Amino acid sequence: PGPSSVTTWSFEPPQPTVAVICGSGLGLLADGATGKQTFRYQDIPNFPVSTVMGHEGCLVFGTIEDTSCVFMQGHFHLYEGYSLCQVTLPVRIFKLMGVESVLVTNASGGLCPDFKVGDIMIIKDHINLPGFAGQHPLCGPNDERFGIRFPCMSDAYSKDLRRLALDVGSELGCGDFMREGVYCMVSGPNFETIAEARMLQILGCDSVGMSMVPEVTVAKHCGLRVLGLSLITNKVSLDYSREEKVNHEEVLQISKMRAEVLQKLVTMLISRCQQQNINTN
Ligand SMILES: O=P(O)(O)O[C@H]1O[C@H](CO)[C@@H](O)[C@H]1O
């Protein structure tokens, strides 16, 4: 945003109860909120800055109906050189601000043969591949103020919120391109080789991306409710004869194409959540 729309630190934001983390090219998700106040990451002490195209690098406070929200226009990745502690810092800040639910969005490549480009996948589970190799945001001394040493991850994604997302999606006429599936995080920054993609498919992954899992893990650790939505921006090559080559420009182009629909979905979801007072798993 231009300097005129950026707020100075004299502003006291209302306590948000919902945080929306916007994935690649999805910063527009904040458009459904009113009374917006924007802060650039670079102006927030000790906050990382976004280095990837399609991640504006702004924290936006606003309201959807009566729900006070904070939107992260751009999130952080291991491949940018950030530690997982830095990648997940915003989630802990949200917890301290009083946030109760986190809605995480991202762009990913489809591995499930039934998925099409432009599908919205409601995440039901994930595979933390970097975590298997010790790249895990909860490694190190456990901070008991946030959560327990050995958190359960089998129910990281709220069932109620997933059901609500499906209902709202079909109400908005998105039923034909809404799916459910398992997201796998890889560190990136390269897109997968064909052998890697085949391995991930055999492991039960429906889509693959380079983000989100650290934030979700830290959110679950500190007791936040999580909904994950992944936009399928490309089909991952599983065949050596396939000519198409994936690239980040294509990812951003598909995100742009679906941003408006996703924004309506997210806005309606947040207002429904409040109406139905969803507060269980
Ligand atoms: O997960 P987000 O940041 O939405 O974006 C996905 O798209 C980028 C690659 O095109 C990577 O950052 C990958 O993780």
Per-residue pLDDT tens over the stretch 84-133: 999 999 999 999 999 999 999 999 999 999 999 999 999 999 999 999 99
Q: What CA–CA distance (Å, rounded) separates 24 from 5? A: 22
> Does the annotation count 210 as an active-site position?
yes
Q: Whose CA is nearest to atom 11 of ligand 1?
A: 210
Distances (CA, A) of 18 to 91, 180, 266, 270: 11, 22, 11, 8
Give the DSSP H or E segment for 167: helix 159-171
Q: Is 75 a catalytic residue?
A: no
pLDDT band at 4 (very low <50, low <70, confident <90, very high): very low
H or E element, residue 85: helix 84-97
What class does CATH assign to 18-276?
A: alpha beta
Per-residue confidence (pLDDT) for residue 53, from 0 to 100: 85
Q: Active-site residue among 19, 30, 33, 55?
A: 55
Annotation marks residue 221 as catalytic: no
Is the beta carbon of 54 within 6 A of some atom in ligand 1? no
Contact (CB, 8 A) for 137 and 196? no
Residue 10: the pLDDT is: 58
Tokens standing for 219? 């959110």
Ligand 1 mutation pick, 28, 73, 80, 106, max ligand atoms within 8 A of CB: 106
Whole-number Å distance between alpha carbons of 225 and 220: 7
Is residue 73 within 8 Å of residue 39, measured between CB atoms? no
Rounded mean pLDDT, 230-234: 97
Give the phi and the psi of residue 125 in degrees, each rounded to 5.
Answer: -165, 170
Nearest to 207 by CA among 176, 234, 168: 234
Question: What pLDDT shows up at residue 273?
Answer: 85
136 given a catalytic annotation:
no
For 118, the token pair is: 């432009």
Lowest mean pLDDT among 11-15, 191-195, 234-238: 11-15
Percent of the chain with pLDDT over 70: 94
Distance CA 132, CA 138 (A): 12
107 lines ligand 1 (CB under 6 A): yes
- What confidence score (pLDDT) does residue 244 get? 86
| Domain boundaries along the sequence of the chain | 18-276
237 Cβ inside 6 Å of ligand 1: no
End-to-end alpha-carbon separation of the chain, Å?
37
CA dist 140 and 124 (Å) reads 27
Q: What is the pLDDT of residues 33-50, one digit of tens each?
A: 999 999 999 999 999 999
Q: pTM to 2 decimals?
A: 0.93
Distance between CA atoms of residues 227 and 242, nearest Å: 33
Predicted ipTM beyond 0.85 = yes
Q: Exposed (0-12), middle (13-18) or buried (19+): which is 10, by Cβ within 10 Å? A: exposed
Per-residue confidence band for 185, with pLDDT thresholds at 50, 70 and 90? very high
Lowest-confidence range among 46-50, 107-111, 228-232, 240-244? 240-244
The torsion angles phi and psi of 213, rounded to 5 degrees, stand at -60, -40
Residues 6+ apart with CB under 8 A from 96: none
For ligand 1, atom 9, the nearest C-alpha belongs to 248
Which residue in 128, 158, 230, 234 is the catalytic one? 234
pLDDT digits (tens, 9 = 90+) for 151-182: 999 999 999 999 999 999 999 999 999 999 99
Q: How many whole angstroms separate alpha carbon 212 and alpha carbon 228?
A: 8
